[in-house]
Amino acid sequence: MHTEIAVEIRPFAAADAAPCRACLIELQEAERRIDPRLRRGEEVADAYLEQAHARCREYTGVILVAEVAGEIVGMVTVMARVPFETPDEPPGEYAVIPELVVRDAYRHRGIGSALLQAAEQHARTAGASELRIRVLSGNHAARRLYAREGFGPYLDTLAKPLTP
């Protein structure tokens, strides 16, 4: 296990676009190892980052980056005021973290926890009373991190492949 290192968590700046793109590619490729049907990171990174910015504007969100010695080594997106959409859900809004990534070379050093804590602080400051995070069921390392940070199961989506 690696030791914790000095990390600065700060809001995304325009100069962070290329390193955040690299983070998203790495995240997508890691998820493709769990679900090979997913698109390649290079194919989705630009559109994904553009969508993240748009959703942040719409839902009081922010993209936060983790920087170590001047290098972006991770990122998290949190949207703090997402409305519930169906009549059977609770009234009001919730916060959600649609993605969190720490570059492979920097994992197990406390950076994921630092990003989660900063995202939680943003959600609290924006008035959220609940924070959710999305994770592939097969991403066991991420699930362990989220459990350590106080997240627990809320809703499971089960899938069944339909073959011809």
Span 87-115, pLDDT tens digits = 998 888 999 999 999 999 999 999 999 99
Given a contact cutoff of 8 angstroms between Cβ atoms, the answer to whether 9 and 115 are in contact is yes
Residue 4 predicted with pLDDT over 80: no
What CA–CA distance (Å, rounded) separates 74 from 96? 18
What percentage of the chain carries pLDDT values higher than 70?
98
For 8-17, the pLDDT digits (tens) are 999 999 999 9
What CA–CA distance (Å, rounded) separates 57 from 68? 27
Average pLDDT of the chain is: 94
* Beta strand segments in 18-164, E: 61-68, 71-83, 93-102, 131-133
pLDDT of residue 155: 86
Residue 1 predicted with pLDDT over 60: no
pLDDT of residue 27: 95
Name the band, by pLDDT with cuts 50, 70 and 90, for residue 164.
confident
What CA–CA distance (Å, rounded) separates 126 from 110? 25
Residue 144 predicted with pLDDT over 60: yes
Name the band, by pLDDT with cuts 50, 70 and 90, for residue 128.
very high
pLDDT of residue 143: 94
Q: How many CB atoms lie within 10 A of CB 115?
A: 27
What CA–CA distance (Å, rounded) separates 72 from 66? 6
Q: What is the mean pLDDT of residues 67-84?
A: 96
Domain 8-148 has CATH 3.40.630.30: yes
Helix (H, G, I), strand (E, B) or coil at 78: strand
pLDDT of residue 3: 67
Q: What is the mean pLDDT of residues 43-63?
A: 97
Closest CA to 127 of 92, 163, 90, 89: 92
